[in-house]
Structure formats: C-alpha cells, structure tokens
Structure 1
C-alpha cells in the first residue's frame, strides 16, 4: 500500500473518532457546568479545552473560557483542528482521496455526515438544541465505525483505519482521566463534587453503565481508574486500545515483509504497561504522572508510525 493511501486511511480513522470524542466530552461537561457553582463552571470548560488539547489555540482567540465561546470553538470553529467541524471536513477530505479503498457504506456514512453538517444552522449549538446536536455527532461516528467494522475486508486498508481509531481513542481516554486526576486522590476524603467528577469521566467515554455492570458497586475512584485503564472488556480502556494497536501493527508488518520499527516496540511497551500493572501501583506512584507519561508515549507512537508507514503528518 502506498504511504499516501495509508496516511489518509489512518487519519480518516483518527478524525472520525476525534469528532465523537469531542461530542462526548462536551455533553459531559455541559452536565457538569450546570451542576457546578458559578465560580467553578469556568473551570469545567477549561478542563475540557485541556482534555481536547486545544486550550492554547482557544486562548489566542478568546480572553476566557466562557460556555458560549468554548462550545463554538469545539463545534463550529474551523480554526480549531480538534473541533467537530474541522474533523468532519478533514475526515471527508481524506475519505475522498482514498475513495476506492473504502466500502460504499463507509463512504456514504462520512459523505452524508459532511453534507448534513454543512446544511446545519449555526443555532444548532445554542441552548436546548445543543444536546441533540451532540447526540447526532455521536451517532454519525458510530455509524462510520459500524460500517467499517461490518463491511471492510481485513486487509491493510482496514488495519490503518482501525489503527488510527484506536490510537485516537487511547489518547482521549488518557486525557479525560488526567484532566480530573485530582478527583481520584481520595486521601483527604471524597465528597459530592468528587462523585460528580468520577461520573463525568465515565460519561465522557460512555462507560457509566459498563461500570455498573462490571463492578455492581457505587462509584469508587480506584474502580473507575481500573475500568478506564486496565479492563480489557471496555473497548475504550487503555489496555483494550493498546492491545489492538500492537496487534494491528504486527499484522501490518507481517503483511509487508516483516519489517518492524520503533513503533512496534513502543506499542508493545504501552500494551505491557497496562497488562502488567495493578491499579494500586498506579495510584501509589501518582495517577497524573502515569497518565502524562502515557500521553507523551502515545504521541511518540503516532510519530513513529508516521515515520515508518505514513507521510509524517502530525495531529
């Protein structure tokens, strides 16, 4: 497969996943901001900007993270490469470039999303209409992922789309948990605000019901960390993501002469760091430090994949 084709497929997977992740994060933050006291609502919106990695760009255009400004930045502002509008545009652009590598269902999912998005009235992100818009974005991401899962041959085209999806998903889970890491230090005792933040993190990755199914217990910080990092049953956990990344990279290498590079060893290290670690050890060494290190290595992994297989584009 040409590196340009692999590059477009990889970023198609990343941009599609990123749009859905931003929508989930926005929905959870909107709920938290409504529950928060007036003095802490701004902190909720700032946390979302940090989690999406778009705070510097936002502050270059806006003096403070107000609800209206953050919502527009993350939904309709094309100046934000991590915003939903930019992800829809970039995803469709990449899909069009490699149209023949996609199935009909995948192309229709991404192209119809792009067409419908361009027809939306800007007021769709205002007031009571915002939750419906976010649900629509999530549903379109799920439609694309379902089309890819159900209709693609398990060849290199599938592998690069899936690789991009899993790498983006791992990055999102780590960032969402890291931005609220202080709420998982219950050494000083937990209160209602801690409970609300644990719930917000789970909602951000659509895992609140999964938590209840797995643990059959009230929310506990160590169990939330365990679910999001170390449980293979959860498709958005870091363990599940990095297991998929390592497996896909191995399959790509085996199908292309067996050549391996730094990305393969780094993926194996990230997988092992989740597979062979206990929740208590993570919390003892410091959740923030663990997640920061993981996010940095995830960025490096994306760069190494780019150097070996792609055109070297950065997120």
Structure 2
C-alpha cells in the first residue's frame, strides 16, 4: 500500500473518532456544569474539558474569559479550532475523499452524508435545548461510520491502518479524560457527592456507565472506575483493550509487509505489556496522574513512530 493512502486512512480513523469523543466529552461536561455550584465550579468543568481535548492553549489565545457559550462554540463549530467537531468532520471527509476507492460504499456514504448535513447547520444547532440533540447526532454518525467499517470492509491493510488510527485516538482520549480528573481518584479522595459526580462524568464520557454496573454490580468506587477504564480487557475503550488491538494491528501490518518492524512495534508492545501486567493498587499507589501523563506521552511518541515508519509523517 502507498504510504499516502495509508496516511489518509489512518487520519480518517483518528478524525472520525475524535469528533465522537469531543461530543461525548461535551455531553458529560454539560451535565456536570448544570450540577456545579458555585459558578466557579462550572467554569472548572469546562476548563477540564478544554485540557482533555488539548484545546486549552489555543482557546486562551482567542478568548480572555472562559464561558460556557464560548467553550461550546470553540469545541463544536469553530473552524479555527483543529479539534472542533466541525474541523474533525471536515478533515475526516477530506481524507475519505482521497482514498474513496479503498472504502466501501456504506463507509463513504456515512462520512459524506455527515459532512453534507453538517454544512447545513448554523449556530442555532448548539444553542439551548438543541445542543444535546446535536451531540447525540454527532455520536450516532461516528458510530454509523465505525459500524459500516466493521461490517463491510475487507480485513486487509486498508482496514488495518483505518483501525489503527481509530484505536490510537480512542486510547489517547481515555487517558486524557481520566487524567484531568485524577484528583478524584486519589486514595485520599473523599467519597462525597462531588467526587461521585466526577466518577460518573468520566464513565459517561466514554459511554461506560452501564458497563461499570454490569462488571461490578456495585455503587461507583474510584478504584473500580479507574480499573475498568485502564485494565479491564472487556471494555472496548479501556487502555488495555486499545493497546492490545494496537499491537495486534501493527503485527498484522508487519506480516503483510515482509516482516519489517520498527520502533513503533516496540513501543506498542511495551505499552501493552505495562497494562497487561499492571495492577490497579500499584498504579494508584505510584500516582495515577504520573502514570496517565506517561501513557499520553508514550501515545504521542507511538503516533510519531507510526508516522515515520509507515506514513507521510503528518502530525495532528
């Protein structure tokens, strides 16, 4: 496969997944902001989301004050924010058009129809009571594209690079969402209403609240929430599940490429091994923030190495 084709498929997966992740994070933060008291707590919720999505530095250069309306606009429709939903949809469709012949009809229609419908939206779509419906629509469109890919795409190199981008983006999102709320998972954190809401918000951000109930059959507990999102292989958005699939996908690509391997294969294997043999008590004792920032840094390095070994070296 040509590196430019692999590159476009990889970033198609990343941008499509990123749009859905931003929508999930927005929905959870909107709920938390409505519950927050006093007003400064609501502002902190929006700041946490900005940090989790990597949008905080750019937002600060454009806005002197963080308000809910400004944050929502920046994360949804602002074309000046490369991580906004609008920018992600545009980038996903641009990459899909580049490799249209590598996609199935269902995949192309899912991403192209989303782009067409998105271009018809105006700022009223994110105002007031219409915002939750807009966020649900974005999530559903991401799920539609992922479902079309899972159900109709040949399991060849094209699938591998698309899937690799999706899973790498998903892992990064899970790590960042947990990290911005790491204080609520510290051993000394109180089991009060405020922290309970934080644990619930993290689970909602990755659509895992019901999964927690199925796995643990208990009230929310910070150690169990962290364990579910980091070390439980049955949760598709856990770090262990994501890096297991990253390693498998890179191995599959290597096997069809003459067996050539690079630093990206070593990094993926090291990340998977760390999580596979990790224990939540040890992670929490050593410091959840330190562990998660390490994972985020390693994920960035892994993305760079995949880019330099297989792709055009393009960065997000």
Tell me which residue corresponds to 1:178: 179
More deviation, 300-309/37-46: 37-46
Tell me which residue corresponds to 1:49: 50
Secondary structure of the residue that 1:187 maps to in structure 2? coil
Matches within 5 A, 1:141-220: 141-220=142-221
Indicate whether 1:32 and 2:29 are aligned.
no
Would the alpha carbon gap of residues 3 and 255 (structure 1) be closer, same or farther in structure 2, given more than 3 Å must change? same
* Alignment partners' CA distance in 1, 2:221 and 2:211: 14
Deviation per residue, 1:172-230 (Å, 9 max, x gap): 00000000000111415221100000000000000000000000000000000000000
Instruction: Tell me by how many angstroms 1:285 deviates.
Output: 0.2
Instruction: Tell me by how many angstroms 1:64 deviates.
Output: 1.9
Instruction: Tell me by how many angstroms 1:150 deviates.
Output: 0.2
Deviation per residue, 1:120-171 (Å, 9 max, x gap): 1210000000000000000000000000000000000000000000000000
| Shift >4 Å, 4+ stretches | none
Q: Alignment RMSD, CA only?
A: 0.6
* Alignment partners' CA distance in 2, 1:241 and 1:93: 26
Indicate whether 1:86 and 2:87 are aligned.
yes
Which runs of 5 or more residues in structure 1 are unaligned?
A: none
Tell me which residue corresponds to 2:5: 5
* Alignment partners' CA distance in 2, 1:78 and 1:269: 37
Instruction: Tell me by how many angstroms 1:118 deviates.
Output: 0.2
TM-score, normalised via structure 2 length: 0.99
Size of the aligned set, in residue pairs, is 315
Deviation per residue, 1:29-68 (Å, 9 max, x gap): 0000000011211000000000000101101100122100
* Alignment partners' CA distance in 1, 2:105 and 2:123: 30
Secondary structure of the residue that 2:233 maps to in structure 1? coil
Secondary structure of the residue that 2:297 maps to in structure 1? helix
Secondary structure of the residue that 1:45 maps to in structure 2? helix
Tell me which residue corresponds to 1:288: 289
* Alignment partners' CA distance in 1, 2:54 and 2:61: 14
* Alignment partners' CA distance in 2, 1:226 and 1:166: 19
Which runs of 5 or more residues in structure 2 are unaligned?
A: none
Indicate whether 1:17 and 2:20 are aligned.
no
Secondary structure of the residue that 2:188 maps to in structure 1? helix
* Alignment partners' CA distance in 2, 1:177 and 1:7: 29
Tell me which residue corresponds to 2:230: 229
* Alignment partners' CA distance in 1, 2:121 and 2:86: 11
* Alignment partners' CA distance in 2, 1:179 and 1:89: 27
Indicate whether 1:271 and 2:272 are aligned.
yes
Would the alpha carbon gap of residues 188 and 87 (structure 1) be closer, same or farther in structure 2, given more than 3 Å must change? closer
Equivalent residues of 2:90, 2:115 under 8 A apart: yes
* Alignment partners' CA distance in 2, 1:278 and 1:16: 32
Equivalent residues of 2:187, 2:284 under 8 A apart: no
* Alignment partners' CA distance in 2, 1:277 and 1:25: 27
* Alignment partners' CA distance in 2, 1:39 and 1:3: 48
Tell me which residue corresponds to 1:114: 115
Secondary structure of the residue that 2:129 maps to in structure 1? helix
